[in-house]
């Protein structure tokens, strides 16, 4: 895949108390019209920060380990997980992309301008506090895929900053029994498969 100079958006990650809530402003993803090229997506993380402050920390750990593609920058994470082998995936490794969800999302009354990127991660970090670290690297349960939702900036493509859209939320979804790389009911869940 082609990369850009902006690929360094996540290279300056410091580990420390509170650093796990300092998310990058943008991430790389396969371009919705040509998956052999990368594009930039803005990362909306206000809801993730609010959830973490309210005690729900797993969305932030999912963001780090499956959208950004690195361990959450918390103290002791490397030491606690030193014996767990297995690579993480990031959004740039998505293998499928759909356009249009069959429900409203924010200002999009009919879900038409929403992308759904599909990943099949093998590992992720779970929020699991112990004496060494709050992050535990574990295998993804069988029968799940991870879907990242993006609200398009404009129906026709890039905004003035070069961003294609904004990542609004993400979650695990049950995989299709006939095609375990795709979400269950993907034909009725989304309007069109782009690739």
| Cβ burial 49-66 (10 Å sphere, 16+ → b, else e) | eeebeeeebebbbbbbbb
Confidence at residue 115, expressed as pLDDT on a 0 to 100 scale: 96
What does the pLDDT read at residue 159? 47
pLDDT at res. 112: 85
For the chain, give the number of residues.
195
d(CA 182, CA 185) in angstroms, rounded, equals 9
- List, for residues 6-38, the tens digit of each pLDDT value: 433 455 666 666 889 999 999 999 999 999 999
Neighbours of 118 (CB within 10 A): 21
The per-residue pLDDT for range 152-192, each reduced to its tens digit, is 986 555 445 568 899 999 999 999 999 999 999 999 999 99
Instruction: Check: CB of residue 105 under 8 Å from CB of residue 69.
Output: no
Over residues 129-154, the mean pLDDT reads 95
Lowest mean pLDDT among 105-109, 138-142, 175-179: 105-109
Distance between CA atoms of residues 62 and 124, nearest Å: 7
Residue 81 has pLDDT above 50, yes or no: yes
Q: Is there a contact between 69 and 87 (Cβ–Cβ < 8 Å)?
A: no
């Amino acid at each position: 895949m082609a990369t850009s100079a902006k690929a360094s958006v996540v290279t300056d990650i410091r580990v420390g108390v509170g650093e796990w809530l300092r998310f990058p402003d943008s991430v790389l993803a396969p371009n919705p019209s040509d998956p052999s090229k990368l594009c930039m997506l803005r990362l909306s993380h206000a809801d993730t920060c609010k959830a973490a402050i309210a005690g729900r920390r797993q969305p932030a750990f999912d963001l780090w380990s499956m959208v950004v593609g690195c361990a959450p920058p918390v103290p002791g994470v490397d030491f606690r997980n030193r014996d767990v082998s297995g690579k993480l995936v990031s959004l740039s490794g998505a293998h499928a992309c759909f356009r249009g969800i069959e429900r409203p999302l924010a200002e999009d009354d009919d879900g038409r301008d929403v992308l759904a990127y599909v990943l099949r991660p093998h590992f992720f970090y779970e929020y699991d506090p112990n004496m060494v670290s709050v992050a535990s690297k574990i295998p993804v349960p069988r029968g799940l895929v991870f879907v990242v939702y993006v609200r398009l900036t404009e129906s026709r493509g890039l905004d003035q900053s070069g961003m294609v859209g904004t990542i609004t939320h993400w979650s695990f979804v049950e995989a299709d029994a006939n095609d375990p790389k795709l979400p269950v009911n993907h034909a009725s869940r989304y309007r069109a498969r782009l690739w």
